[in-house]
A and B are shown apart, each in its own frame.
Chain A
Amino acid sequence: MSDDPRPSAFSASTPAGAAGRDDAIVLHELSHAFGDVHALRDVSLRVHAGELFGVIGPDGAGKTTLFRIVTSLVVPSQGSAQVLGLDPVQDFRALRRRLGYMPGRFALYTDLSVLENLTFYATVFGTTIEQGMRIIEPIWRQLAPFSDRRAGALSGGMKQKLALCCALVHAPDLLVLDEPTTGVDAVSRVEFWELLGRLRDGGLTILVSTPYMDEAGRCDRVALMQEGRVLAIETPAAMAASYPLPLFAVRGHDRLAMLAALRASPHAESVWPFGEVLHYTDTRREVQPGALAREIGELLTTRGVRDVEVQPIAANVEDVFMRMAQTPHVAPGQERAA
């Protein structure tokens, strides 16, 4: 927790549900159900002003519902929310003026040109492109060459940037982005996160969700979500450092055989395929990682796997997520949220 930029905001003295001076969003024990489906269960979190806050979790974790509550589009079944000091249920009109929102699907009119889309959203939010230009200028510079092209004919990355311009044109105090990088190529994703970082540096508070764990490192702090619950809220570094057991990346010619062999090991806590490699977690935290790596390598070689390579590695957010998703009730985030 030492590298949390604003640890004071989490001090126990702040009464639950009340916004501190520097909190842009305070959610207190939010629950939401669609009929029998519980989209959110008891979610509490705070987003500090000026923070780039990521909500990370797989599809169906409740991210979109959470964002719709924050943006006043959905009234929660239970719990309270304060966004920019306003209640999204009562003061939704005042709040909507100050929000920038980019819904899950880029809300663009494909039959209108780039410029027409932006002009339209500017009028809708009661402003003009000229007034909004000082905020959107860095992004608009990349879009301007295509300003007459229909939005439907843009690449995914360009659509994403246009949608961001549309959400920013009225200079909101809080930017909420629901999975902005889903369906966008890797290069555009990197560029987009750089843009978000720059906007945050300009003082904007950003709440962003993503299903890609590898994007967590771009955020100041992240909340891990699964099945409507928040599993943990941490800085990405603290989250990775919180991984309690030795972790190894395992390579070899036969992934299936390795998976079977490692899962059968009495010391295995978990084995997950990560692209071309396996991430193996061993329960023996007292043994030297190097010694463990050698032992695992020998085990696999005796099972007939060729070209075995075992390396001790530092955990990433995905490892943390996978581990917490296995045992949600001992997740460190729970004590904090409660």
Chain B
Amino acid sequence: MSASQRRDTRSERRHDTRLDLGRLFASLRGLVVKETRHVLRDRQTLAILLLMPLVQVLLYGFAIRTDVRGVNVAVVDPTPDAVTRALVLRVDGSVRHDVLDVFPTSDPLEQQFAAGRIRQAIVLPTDVSRRIARAEPLAVQVITDGSDPNAGSAMASYAEAIVRRWYAESVVAERGPAALRGGGSAQIAVETRMRFNPTMESANLFVPGLIALVLTIVSAMMTAIAITREKELGTMEMLLVSPLRPATIIVGKVVPYAVLGIMNIGIVLGAARVVFDVPVRGSIPLLLAQCALYVVTTLALGIVISTGARTQRTAMLAALGGLLLPTIMLSGFIFPIDSLPTPLKAISNIVPARWFLVIVRGIMLKGSGMSVLWQETLVLFGLTTALLAVGIRRLSVRLD
């Protein structure tokens, strides 16, 4: 080809590159196809990424059993009679509880708890049957060993349910079914208290935390590794010299990991459902939308890490230390936020997983909607936007 021919092709090319969206999409497609090939070719990593959520669900599900059985209970009943006797029988008859003792006062409880003889106590007031007959308020205390937060909260809610059902039946027996109407059940106040871990949060389900954990590994860590790998290989240099904008390169690279992340959410939710019968009480579309938002959050975290790390090893360590540990420790996944020391509590506010957990727990366990969760969603959205902004700002069009 002669030099003049070369010049002709050059001017043609310059002519049609102005804001060529079609070409942008072609490049993006090329990037996504290539990145997907990387993911699919690395079978070992792919297998780990897909099996890990399943293994985690099983591990957490079986290791942290929320399904409590054979809990030893003491009942404190200052004025025993037929009505309170019915409660003792009902508790003892449940598959989860065994009543060991009925004490007239609450004095022995301290020692019984400390010795590990009982894990739960139900404390009744005096003159229970008279209060019920007169429709006076009844205050019942449920004290639970909270040293295992998951089991503790499950025990507490089971006991509370038994007490409430017993109360309702006693009211009906004493005053007829009509007595329950018009807020009759409001006459009972069940106060649940935790021994050893009094401020325990409802960490009763591991699934929300697990989703956060898995996404941190798949979306954040894998993204960071995939981007730094290009730096290590020297291919980033080649991509930078191309007409592609850095943001295009990054978007093309993260798409497969976003898809993997969403697949993992499905695996976690599905396995939790099939194996442990974990329900989703709220709206599933809302849950998925929130998960999608969190996928973007973790991708942004991965991008931020990759802009700072030069090698895959650095990226991995940064993701493990800087993301995985806070996601486990400071999100309320394992340790309740309220029981964290004040400085860590403050730090937990900038851990996206902390807000994601509140949202997912709200949707899955309480059936909450956006009217309840809008604040947390807003915070998570804000954090995500900030992370994306930092990530994009730090993307360089040149080598550092």
Contact = CB atoms under 8 A, between A and B. Distances in A.
B31 interface: yes
Given A74-B399, A126-B243, A97 B38 contact: no
Interface stretch (A102-110, A221-229, A246-254, A305-313): A102-110
A73 B6 contact: no
Nearest to A127: B13
A99 B37 contact: no
Contact of A97 (B2, B30, B41, B243): B243
Interface string A25-56: 00000000000000000000000011000000
A203 B9 CA distance: 13
Interface string A85-103: 0000000111011110101
A166 B30 CA distance: 14
B181 interface: no
Q: Which of B3, B38, B235, B238 has the most CB of A within 10 A?
A: B238
A72 interface: yes
Contact of B1 (A94, A135, A166): A135
B51 interface: no
Contact of B27 (A49, A126, A135, A203): A126
B237 A125 contact: no
Contacts of B242: 96, 121, 124-125
Interface string A115-147: 010011111111000000011000000000000
Contacts of A72: 241, 398
B240 interface: yes
Contacts of B34: 109, 112, 116, 120
A71 B242 CA distance: 10
A93 B30 CA distance: 20
Nearest to A95: B241
Contacts, number: 101
A173 B6 contact: yes
A65 to B, nearest CB: 10
A284 B41 CA distance: 66
B247 to A, nearest CB: 13
A238 B70 CA distance: 97
B41 A111 contact: yes
Interface size, A (range):
35 or more
A123 B1 contact: no
Given A50-B3, A96-B242, A173-B6, A120 B237 contact: no
Nearest to B13: A97
Contacts of B251: none
B15 to A, nearest CB: 12
A266 interface: no
Contact of A123 (B14, B29, B233): B29
B243 A108 contact: no
Contacts of B233: 105, 107-110
Contacts of A103: 234, 237-238
A93 B14 CA distance: 12
Interface string A278-302: 0000000000000000000000000
A134 B2 CA distance: 12
Interface string A312-330: 0000000000000000000
A125 B243 contact: yes
Nearest to A171: B9
A68 interface: yes
Contacts of A73: 237, 240-241, 398-399
A171 B10 CA distance: 9
Contacts of A15: none
Nearest to A99: B241
B399 A119 contact: no
Given A112-B37, A120-B30, A123-B30, A107 B398 contact: no
Nearest to B16: A126
A7 interface: no
Nearest to B23: A126
A179 to B, nearest CB: 12
B147 interface: no
Interface in B1-38: 1-3, 6, 9-10, 13-14, 17, 20, 23, 26-27, 29-31, 33-34, 37-38
Interface string B204-231: 0000000000000000000000000000
Contacts of B243: 93, 96-97, 125-126
B58 interface: no
A120 B23 CA distance: 13
A126 B237 contact: no
A101 B238 contact: yes
B4 to A, nearest CB: 9
25 contacts: A50-B3, A73-B240, A73-B398, A94-B14, A96-B242, A96-B243, A97-B243, A101-B237, A101-B238, A103-B238, A105-B234, A107-B238, A109-B235, A111-B38, A112-B37, A112-B38, A112-B41, A120-B30, A123-B31, A126-B23, A135-B1, A171-B6, A171-B13, A202-B1, A203-B6
Given A107-B237, A108-B235, A124-B242, 12 more contacts: A92-B397, A97-B13, A97-B243, A103-B237, A104-B234, A107-B238, A120-B30, A125-B243, A126-B17, A126-B20, A171-B9, A204-B6
Interface of A: 49-50, 68, 71-75, 92-94, 96-99, 101, 103-112, 116, 119-126, 134-135, 166-167, 171, 173, 202-204
List the 6 closest A-B pairs by CB distance, nearest first.
A123-B30, A107-B238, A203-B3, A105-B234, A107-B235, A103-B237
